[in-house]
């Protein structure tokens, strides 16, 4: 190599799109980020404009390269991490989406899923998942039935489906490549994680044409090259696509069976690497594919929390309690406790381990002595409580005690949250110096595909380890109060 080489990660999230450039030492060279638009046409519906997602992707790629004075020829590979279940269908000739992308959080397919309830056992056995609006299959069905002429066009072979990774690869390749990887395929409710293929019985049951679906690839391999018109005539290998939570698991260095990470993003996602074995959850968790390297498939146990960090955004944007979420750590420490206030952030129902899509968010225990700082502290504590709900189920299912939990995501910068989490879980909570661990995971997987990196090159430096300090009896009492609040929320 005559010039220094880098790997570019594209992290296409729910609320923003990032491009992150890494050097060979796994260090961040530069970041570009653009916020996107979410649409809420009806209560519980969440949508995105897939064209905007693409436009933002192009912008951040150009922005980070210009900011770092890096030429396209210096980019060894591109890796993509993405919000997983968000679904888009587009015309393969015009490249135009037939409707907005339906976001993973959206509940507009609740009625579809209720009509599929009798298939839940079959779905769980084949996919490790459960019938729920969260996953892609009901979103595909909804789009085909609610967009005029869509089902006929799909059966004619004129339409393509993809999660956001598939959409971006198709666009980046100039419409030449329609693929996804096993981690994203395993989130559609259509992919058999035992046989490792689209499941004909599920496709027939849900009346979804197979020709809509992308080809499923390994998580780390060169799928295609970027369209030369995109980057000054230079074509760059696309070497990885991976669901954002699996990317974070990889980026946290959770390569060994039994290692666990928790991401505090828009939602909260806890994953345990279960190696090459599928752990069948009896406690409301999901069995899913972590990644595929070569011909080796790795699995994970997952607890999905629908609303986590977005609670703090709601308090800022909808209630106007503060201008910046940075103040929340100080406010939480300003009060001794929540004064009995509990915040159950079931804005779109509750995910694992409850799976209740009908309950609504509640703030309970309010008295005249409660103020905005108590409410903010209760909101932060809710992230920890939901994490304990999932971790307890994970330990029960796997039989593996957890001594260390690795964390990332925007809210992991909040020291109050992480100390409370450590106190509650009675284990170490470890945060790393690099916060962009989802991007690092996608980048490293792409770099491996072009021999830029090998697994022994992986470097990650710890920032701080939180250890339990508060009395366990006190934390047990707090958690018992949370469990009562959740039960009240689900009973209404």
Which residue(s) pair with 289 in the sheet? 299
| 82 annotated as a binding-site residue | no
pLDDT attached to residue 1 = 47
Count the neighbouring beta carbons within 10 Å of the beta carbon of residue 122.
15
And the tokens for 257?
A: 């069976």
d(CA 188, CA 216): 12
Whether 491 has a pLDDT exceeding 90, the answer reads no
The proportion of the chain whose per-residue pLDDT surpasses 90, expressed as a percent, equals: 85
Half-sphere exposure of 261 (CA within 13 A, CB side): 28
Q: Which tens digits make up the pLDDT trace of 45-91?
A: 999 999 999 999 999 999 999 999 999 999 999 999 999 999 999 99
Q: Which tens digits make up the pLDDT trace of 337-347?
A: 999 999 999 99
Residues 6+ apart with CB under 8 A from 338: 365, 370, 374, 375, 377, 378, 381
Count the neighbouring beta carbons within 10 Å of the beta carbon of residue 488.
14
Question: Domain for residue 263, yes or no?
Answer: no
| 430 annotated as a binding-site residue | no
Residue 363: C-alpha distances to residues 175, 340, 367 (Å): 48, 10, 11
Question: Domain for residue 226, yes or no?
Answer: yes
d(CA 399, CA 68): 47
CATH of the domain at 231: 3.30.420.40
Contact 365, 402 (CB under 8 A): no
Q: Which tens digits make up the pLDDT trace of 9-20?
A: 999 988 899 999
Q: Which tens digits make up the pLDDT trace of 267-281?
A: 888 999 999 989 988
Pure H helices in 96-180: 110-115, 120-127, 136-146, 150-155, 164-172
Q: How many domains does the chain have?
A: 1
Helix orientation angle between 415-425 and 327-334, rounded to the nearest 10 degrees = 50
Contact 311, 383 (CB under 8 A): yes
d(CA 435, CA 252): 10
Which backbone phi and psi does 216 adopt, to 5 degrees? Answer: -95, 130
Contact 240, 183 (CB under 8 A): no
d(CA 479, CA 424): 8
Report the length, in residues, of the chain.
Answer: 492
Widest distance between CA atoms in the chain: 69
Helix (H, G, I), strand (E, B) or coil at 181: strand
Q: Which tens digits make up the pLDDT trace of 152-192?
A: 999 999 999 999 999 999 999 999 999 999 999 999 999 99
Q: Which tens digits make up the pLDDT trace of 109-151?
A: 999 999 999 999 999 999 999 999 989 999 999 999 999 999 9
Q: Which tens digits make up the pLDDT trace of 365-374?
A: 999 999 999 9
Residue 382: C-alpha distances to residues 14, 308, 471 (Å): 21, 8, 19
Helix (H) or strand (E) run with residue 481 in it:
helix 472-491
Residues 6+ apart with CB under 8 A from 118: none
Contact 81, 441 (CB under 8 A): yes
Strand order in the sheet with 159-163: 47-48, 101-102, 87-91, 159-163
Contact 228, 372 (CB under 8 A): no
| 84 annotated as a binding-site residue | yes
d(CA 203, CA 448): 33
| 134 annotated as a binding-site residue | yes
Q: Which tens digits make up the pLDDT trace of 408-439?
A: 888 999 999 999 999 999 999 999 998 889 99
Which backbone phi and psi does 126 adopt, to 5 degrees? Answer: -85, -35
Contact 227, 170 (CB under 8 A): no
Question: Domain for residue 88, yes or no?
Answer: yes
| 441 annotated as a binding-site residue | no
Question: Domain for residue 438, yes or no?
Answer: no
Whether 310 has a pLDDT exceeding 60, the answer reads yes
Contact 161, 99 (CB under 8 A): no
Residues 6+ apart with CB under 8 A from 13: 82, 83, 244, 265, 266
Helix orientation angle between 415-425 and 372-398, rounded to the nearest 10 degrees = 40
Residues of the domain holding 66: 6-244
Q: Which tens digits make up the pLDDT trace of 433-488?
A: 988 899 999 999 999 999 999 988 898 889 999 999 999 999 999 999 999 999 99
Count the neighbouring beta carbons within 10 Å of the beta carbon of residue 181.
29
Comparing CA positions, the residue from 199, 181, 191, 102 lying closest to residue 146 is 102
d(CA 37, CA 53): 9
Question: Domain for residue 22, yes or no?
Answer: yes
Integer-rounded Cα radius of gyration of the chain:
22
- The mean pLDDT value for 393-405 works out to 90
Contact 264, 437 (CB under 8 A): no
| 166 annotated as a binding-site residue | no
| 15 annotated as a binding-site residue | yes
Question: Domain for residue 103, yes or no?
Answer: yes
pLDDT attached to residue 308 = 87
Question: Domain for residue 437, yes or no?
Answer: no
Question: Domain for residue 163, yes or no?
Answer: yes
3-state SS of the chain: helix, strand, coil percent to 5?
35, 25, 40
Q: Give the pTM.
A: 0.88
Look at 265 and 5; give whichever has higher pLDDT: 5
DSSP-assigned letter for residue 33: E
d(CA 296, CA 481): 44
| 221 annotated as a binding-site residue | no
| 303 annotated as a binding-site residue | no
d(CA 407, CA 428): 10
d(CA 55, CA 375): 38
């Amino acid at each position: 190599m005559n010039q220094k080489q880098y790997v570019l990660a594209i992290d296409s999230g729910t609320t923003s799109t990032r491009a992150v450039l890494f050097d060979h030492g796994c260090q961040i060279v530069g970041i570009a980020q653009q916020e996107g638009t979410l649409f809420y046409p009806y209560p519980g519906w969440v949508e995105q404009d897939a064209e905007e997602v693409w436009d933002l992707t192009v912008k951040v790629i150009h922005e980070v390269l210009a900011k770092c004075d890096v030429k396209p020829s210096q980019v060894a590979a591109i890796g993509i991490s993405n919000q997983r279940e968000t679904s888009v269908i587009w015309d393969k000739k015009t490249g135009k989406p037939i409707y907005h992308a339906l976001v993973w959080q959206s509940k507009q397919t609740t009625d579809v899923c209720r009509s599929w309830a009798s298939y839940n056992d079959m779905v769980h056995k084949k996919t490790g998942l459960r019938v729920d609006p969260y996953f892609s299959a009901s979103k595909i069905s909804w789009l085909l039935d609610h967009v005029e002429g869509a089902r006929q066009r799909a059966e004619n072979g004129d339409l393509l489906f993809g999660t956001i990774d598939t959409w971006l690869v198709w666009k980046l390749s100039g419409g030449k490549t329609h693929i996804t990887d096993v981690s994203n395929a395993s989130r559609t409710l259509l992919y058999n994680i035992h046989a490792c293929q689209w499941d004909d019985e599920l496709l027939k049951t849900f009346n979804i044409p197979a020709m809509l679906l992308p080809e499923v690839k390994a998580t780390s391999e060169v799928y295609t090259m970027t369209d030369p018109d995109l980057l000054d005539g230079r074509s760059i290998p696309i070497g990885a696509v991976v669901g954002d939570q699996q990317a974070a698991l990889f980026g946290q260095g959770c390569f060994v069976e039994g290692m666990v990470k928790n991401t505090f993003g828009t939602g909260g996602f806890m994953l345990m690497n279960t190696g090459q074995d599928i752990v069948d959850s009896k406690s409301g968790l999901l069995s899913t594919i972590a990644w595929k390297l070569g011909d080796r498939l790795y699995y994970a146990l997952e607890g999905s929390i629908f609303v986590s960090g977005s609670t703090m955004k709601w308090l800022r944007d909808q209630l106007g309690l503060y201008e910046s979420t940075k103040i929340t750590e100080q406010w939480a420490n300003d009060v001794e406790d929540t004064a009995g206030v509990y915040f159950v952030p079931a804005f779109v129902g509750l995910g694992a381990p409850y799976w209740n899509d009908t309950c609504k968010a509640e703030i309970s225990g309010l008295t005249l002595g409660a103020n905005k700082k108590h409410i903010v502290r209760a909101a932060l504590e809710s992230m920890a409580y939901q994490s304990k709900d999932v971790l307890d189920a994970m330990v029960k299912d796997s039989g593996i005690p957890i001594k260390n939990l690795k964390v990332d995501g925007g809210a992991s910068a909040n020291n109050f949250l992480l100390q409370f989490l450590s106190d509650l879980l009675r284990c170490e909570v470890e945060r790393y110096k690099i916060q962009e661990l989802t991007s690092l995971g996608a980048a490293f997987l792409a770099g491996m595909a072009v021999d830029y990196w090998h697994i022994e090159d992986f470097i990650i430096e710890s920032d701080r380890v939180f250890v339990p300090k508060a009395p366990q009896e006190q934390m047990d009492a707090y958690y018992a109060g949370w469990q009562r609040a959740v039960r009240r929320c689900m009973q209404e």
